[in-house]
Amino acid sequence: MKLRFFVFQGVVMCMPLLMVASEVVSLDSCRAMALRNNKQMLINATRIVGARYKKREARAAFLPALDFAGGYTYNQKNLSLFDSDQMLPVKTFNIATGSYEFNVVKNPITGEPIKSPDGQYVPQEVALIPKEAMTFDIHNLFYGALTLSQPIYMGGKIIALNRIADYAEQLAEAQRRGDTENLIYEVDVAYWQVVSLNAKMRLAESYVALLDTLNRNVNAMIVEGVATPSDQLRVGVRLNEAQVDFTKVKNGLTLSRMALAQMCGLPIDSDLHLADENCDNTLAKMPIILKNWNIERVYARRYDIRQLELGEQITHQQSKVELSSMLPNLLAVGTYSFSNPNMYDGFKKSFDGAFSVGVMMTIPLWHWGGNYSKYKASQTQETIMRLNLADAKEKIALQVQQASFKAQEAVKTYKMTIENIESANENLRQAQVGHREGVMTIDNVMEAQTAWLKANSERIDAQIDVQLCNTYLNKVLGLLTN
C-beta separation of 389 from 312 below 8 A: yes
Averaged pLDDT, 87-99: 78
- HEC profile of the chain: CHHHHHHHHHHHHHHHHHHHHHCEECHHHHHHHHHHHCHHHHHHHHHHHHHHHHHHHHHHCCCCEEEEEEEEEECCCCEECCCCCEEEECEEEECCCCEEEECECECCCCCCECECCCCCECECCEEEECHHHHEECCCEEEEEEEEEEEEEECCCHHHHHHHHHHHHHHHHHHHHHHHHHHHHHHHHHHHHHHHHHHHHHHHHHHHHHHHHHHHHHHHHHHHHCCCCHHHHHHHHHHHHHHHHHHHHHHHHHHHHHHHHHHHCCCCCCCCCEECCCCCHHHHHCCCCCCCCCCHHHHHHHCHHHHHHHHHHHHHHHHHHHHHHCCCCEEEEEEEEEEEECECECECECCCEEEEEEEEEEECCCCCCCHHHHHHHHHHHHHHHHHHHHHHHHHHHHHHHHHHHHHHHHHHHHHHHHHHHHHHHHHHHHHHHHHHHHCCCCHHHHHHHHHHHHHHHHHHHHHHHHHHHHHHHHHHHCCCCCC
For residue 212, pLDDT beyond 60: yes
The yes-or-no verdict on residue 72 having pLDDT over 50 is yes
Highest mean pLDDT among 103-117, 211-225, 231-245, 308-322: 308-322
For residue 390, pLDDT over 90 is answered with: yes
**481 confidence band (pLDDT: 50, 70, 90):** confident
Choose between 458 and 86: higher pLDDT. 458
Q: How far is CA 78 from the centre of its chain?
A: 59
Between CA 437 and CA 449 the distance in angstroms is 17
Residue 17 has pLDDT above 50, yes or no: no
- The mean-pLDDT minimum among 18-32, 208-222, 224-238, 413-427 falls in 18-32
Give the pLDDT confidence score for residue 218 in this predicted structure.
85
For residue 375, the model assigns a pLDDT of 93
Q: How confident is the model at residue 22 (pLDDT cuts 50, 70, 90)?
A: low
pLDDT in tens, 117-132: 777 777 777 777 788 7
* Cβ contact 150:156 at 8 Å: no
User: Rounded to an integer, what distance in angstroms lies between the CA atom of residue 240 and that of residue 232?
Assistant: 12
Residue 8 confidence (pLDDT): 36
Q: For all residues of the chain together, what is the average pLDDT?
A: 86
Residues whose CB falls within 8 Å of the CB of residue 465, separated by 6 or more in sequence, listed in order: 410, 413, 414
pTM for this prediction: 0.78
Instruction: Give the side-chain half-sphere CA count within 13 A for 133.
Output: 6
The answer, yes or no, to whether residue 62 has pLDDT greater than 90, is yes
Reply yes or no on whether the pLDDT at 293 is more than 90.
no
At 424-440, the pLDDT tens digits run 999 989 988 887 887 78
* Local confidence band at 205 (pLDDT 50, 70, 90 cut-offs): very high
Domain with CATH 1.20.1600.10 in the chain: 15-63+154-327+365-476
Which class would CATH give 15-63+154-327+365-476?
mainly alpha
Is residue 237's pLDDT more than 60? yes
